[in-house]
Amino acid sequence: MGSATTTTTTTTATIPVTVDGQTIEVKPGTTVLEAARMLKISIPTLCHHSAVEAYGACRVCMTEIEVRGKKRMVTACNFPIREPLAVFAESDATKRQRRGVLSMMLARWPNVPAIQTLAKRYGVQNPGYKHPLRNEAPDACILCGLCVKACSEMVWEDVIAFAGRGARRRVAMPFGKQSERCTGCGTCAYICPTGAIKVADEKNNPVDPARIRKYGFRLTKEMATLDDSQCKMRRVGTAHLVEIMDAYDLLPTHNYKFGKHAEIARISSPVWTSLVRQNVPDGCWVGCQMSCAKAVDDFVPRTGPYKGRKVLVDGPEYETVASCGSNIGVFEPHDIIELNFYCDTYGIDTISFGTACAFAMECYEAGVLDKRKTGGLDLKFGNATAALELLHHMSRGEGFGVLVGQGIRQMKRIFAERFGGDPKFLHDIGMEAKGLEYSEYVSKESLAQQAGYAMAQKGPQHDEAWLIFMDMVNKQLPTFEKKAEALYYFPMWRTWFGLMGLCKLPWNDVEPEDNAKWPEPNKVPGHVEGYENFLSGMIGGDFKIQDILKMSERVYNFQRVFAIRMGHGRREDDRGPYRAMGPVTAEEYESRAERYDGQLKELVKVDPAGKSTAQKMALLRQYREEQYEGVLDAVYKRRGWTRNGTPTPETLKGLGIDYPWVVEVVKARMAEEGSA
Amino acid sequence: MPWRAGLTVADVLRERQFVFPLLVVSIDGVHVPRDAFATTAVPERAVVLVLHLMSGG
């Protein structure tokens, strides 16, 4: 291991700034206030907040600067540094200016603590005149405008604004009435420096609203100040992941054969940013400022019952871009939007449609299907017109659409029985488990994710666990036991969002500024703490993460028992198709031959030299399938289940759900499997 | 990966094609803030740890 020190060098153009004799190099555009704060030099502010754009309204930050030999006064909060300058944060001229401003403020709002504190700092006494608009309330509105800026820039609602002029100036809603557009998110109250705005309506009667609000406001600020440099959820939603998944070879392409495509730029996030409406709240969740659900206005479909008419399309988000785009070989954004629109209109899930269509397309290209069997549809990868026609057929219950509409599990059976398809091949490439189509990530190189998908109770949705980066890239889960621990923690944690009726995205699609400094940043501990407080503040008590996991574990085990009672919940139900685990076809193997040959050498301890692709594929498959069984064993053990995936009576007792009718179900299954 | 004089954290991430925005980076156990990736030099024989967090639906 090398030195524990790092060397910092400047590689971008910077500007020297001197603040009260101390010099610092700053990037062009840095404000005088920011430069001073970098040097720990205090400049007072009232209308400034890092979550909104500075606008210099209160004038308390007036500061003397010198540029090219000339001195002048500027508002430090929004004066951008473009050339070398000197700042005199506490010069006589600066102090004189601030005293004048504070004197007027103190005359009008004598009892507001924020003003009293600053007045004291600058030696401003109560002025000897009575201000005609004197307001003696300690929580008086000082017209700083932060609430107006926050409602506009953070919430995108513009519910409140300044009304009146001069002495009549005030913050108000339109026509002085309660606006129906106000979601009661409380952002204005949070950002108000005097407490003039109070949230009066506690609609859900929480036990401790202040405790909830404290953590809610923290998230509000993160969304407003950090999202642009993190996931850009407010700009493009989850579609920001499209080019990222492609870069890591994880974007499903041609029915999950591959993880990237040469035409990725055509469906990358800048394309979606330009197509979706911006800067409006999506209304998906009251007061949520992530607003990641996006809409396309005035879209004109080229097919179907809405052909030629302007329609509004909700989306597309990442899963739809991948399922109705790359996974079926479509890289035309407007076709993806149209598939998105008709899936929504017909009430068909975009993931299930895209994954089912991709399966049908591979069957078509592999010769299992032909035009006669598809009713004339030329279902080649990339044929968006055929995909749209198939979707319309599904909606009308016509022709080949009837088969695809039954989902991949039924298609596999039907294609084998009616069309002579090879059942093994169909099973290998049919991306479903438990009868549900896979969501849109290539899991071949992450054993933990393979299990995260196939073991998920509802079927291969990644909302129980998304472990690809932890496992494949970070190498944080090198053993079966570590994978099993992750496949305990994350499914239990994420199940809790469902139990509470909460969206999972604010947990880890924005992260606290200090997240990296926590021991396990992948868990976003700062936000976990927020959820602990949210639950405690809502229903009372002092819940910790262990309590939360236990809540989920009870439900999770109940779900497993229900599955067992319905004849499912066996080990074989927790296995997915081989396409989720490794290369099914020679084309796949050879496209990443260097990777797979290397794994044969390093992991399987077999020299691939001189072996045919088929031989190498068989060796790799045997290894990967054995590894998968190892993960199943470890996860079952961690969850307190038998080797066949049955919760034991001891596990149920430990969770306090060992009701006789529940224990009866698992005992019957254990007797059947010989583990009673 | 091969070291060269002036190699920065941003260079390492670019060359490894680590384009995900939620990264946690440390050099020999010392955390490197994201806004310092471009200006932080990687010493010779240093151990650079890059953790990818997670996001998405």
Per-residue pLDDT of chain B (57 residues; tens, 9 = 90+): 899 999 999 999 999 999 999 999 999 999 999 989 999 999 999 999 999 998 876
Structural domain tally of chain B?
Answer: 1
Does A87 score more than 60 pLDDT?
yes
Look at residue B1 and tell me if it is in a domain: no
Count of the separate structural domains present in chain A: 4
B21: chain A residues, CB-CB within 8 Å: 229-232
A367 and A267 share a domain?
A: yes
Between CA A98 and CA A90 the distance in angstroms is 10
Which range (A16-20, A48-52, A353-357) has the least confidence? A48-52
Q: Give burial (CB, 10 Å; 0-12/13-18/19+) of A623.
A: middle
Report chain A's mean pLDDT, rounded to a whole number.
94
pLDDT band at A201 (very low <50, low <70, confident <90, very high): low
Length of chain B counted residue by residue = 57
- Option in B29, B41, B54 nearest A522 (CB): B54
Residue A262 forms contact with B (CB below 8 Å): no
Pair A509, A628 in one domain: yes
- Find out whether A139 and A195 touch, Cβ atoms under 8 Å: yes
Domain boundary among A51, A75, A90: A90
Global pTM reads 0.89
Residue A194: which domain range? Answer: 141-199
Residues A400 and A534 in one domain: no
Binary contact (A6, B32; C-beta < 8 A): yes
* B1 in A contact zone (CB under 8 Å): no
The answer to the question of residue A509 being in a domain is yes
A13 touches chain B (CB under 8 A): no
Residue B26 domain flag = yes
- Domain with B19, as residue range(s), is 9-52
What's the pLDDT score for residue A1?
Answer: 28
Are the beta carbons of B52 and A469 closer than 8 angstroms?
yes
pLDDT at A655 over 70: yes
How large is the average pLDDT for residues A175-181? 86
Residue A148 scores a pLDDT above 80: yes
Residue B32: inside a domain, yes or no? yes
Asked whether residue A204 is assigned to any structural domain, the reply reads no
Residue A599 lies in a domain: yes
The shortest CB-CB distance from A238 to any of B29, B45, B56 is to B56
A443 in a domain, yes or no? Answer: no
Q: How far apart are CA B39 and CA A9, in angstroms?
A: 5
pLDDT in tens, A46-76: 999 988 999 999 999 999 999 999 999 999 9
Answer yes or no: is B2 within a domain.
Answer: no
Mean pLDDT of all residues in A94-118: 95
Residue A205 one-letter amino acid: N
What CATH number is given to the structural domain containing A344?
1.10.569.10
Domain contains A38: yes
pLDDT of res. A3: 32
pLDDT-wise least confident of A1-10, A227-236, A240-249, A286-295: A1-10
Q: Are A166 and A294 in a shared domain?
A: no
Q: Which helix (H) or strand (E) holds A448?
A: helix A447-454
Provide the residue count of chain A: 676
Percentage of the residues of chain A whose pLDDT score is greater than 90: 85
Q: Does B51 touch chain A (CB under 8 A)?
A: yes
Specify whether A392 is located in the same domain as A247: yes
A window 533-592, beta carbon within 8 A of B? none
A519 in contact with B, Cβ within 8 Å: no
- Mutation target vs B (from A5, A6, A241, A439; most B CBs, 10 A cutoff): A6
pLDDT at A216: 85
* Residues from chain B contacting residue A463 (CB–CB below 8 Å): 57
Judge whether A525 lies within some domain: yes
Contacts of A222 in chain B (CB under 8 A): none
Whole-angstrom distance between the N-terminal and C-terminal Cα of chain A?
A: 52
Domain check: are A499 and A623 in the same one? yes
The conformation of residue A24, written as its DSSP 8-state character, comes to E
- Position of tokens 């039907």? A414
B57 within some domain: no
Give bridge partners of residue A75 from the DSSP assignment. A62
If asked whether residues A556 and A417 sit together in one domain, one would say no
Looking at the domain assignment, is residue B17 inside a domain? yes
- Cα–Cα distances (Å) from A201 to A104, A404, A517, in that order, read 34, 50, 37
pLDDT of residue A11: 44
**Domain end marker among A179, A199, A219:** A199
**Are A271 and A278 spatial neighbours (Cβ–Cβ below 8 Å)?**
no
- CATH number for the domain including A51? 3.10.20.740
Kindly state whether residues A148 and A80 are assigned to the same domain.
no
Assess if residue B36 is contained within a domain.
yes
- Both A424 and A535 in one domain: the answer is no
Q: Give the DSSP H/E element, type plus range, for residue A386.
A: helix A384-396
B44 Cβ under 8 Å from any chain A Cβ: yes
Clarify whether residues A256 and A348 are in a common domain.
Answer: yes
Q: State how far the Cα of A591 lies from the Cα of A289, in Å rounded to an integer.
A: 42
Are B42 and A6 in contact (CB < 8 Å)? yes
**Does a structural domain hold residue A446?**
no
Reported as a pLDDT band with limits 50, 70 and 90, residue A156 is confident
Residue whose token pair is 């919940």? A569
pLDDT tens-digit map of A378-398:
999 999 999 999 999 999 999
pLDDT of A284 reads 83
Tokens of A466: 């998304």
Q: Which residue shows structure tokens 């008709």? A: A342
Domain presence at residue A312: yes
Q: Could you tell me if A261 and A319 lie in one domain?
A: yes
Same structural domain, A496 and A593: yes
Tell me if B29 is assigned to some domain. yes
User: Is residue A261 within 8 Å of A253, Cβ to Cβ?
Assistant: yes
The CATH number of the domain holding residue A647 is 1.10.599
> What residue type is A289 in one-letter code?
Q
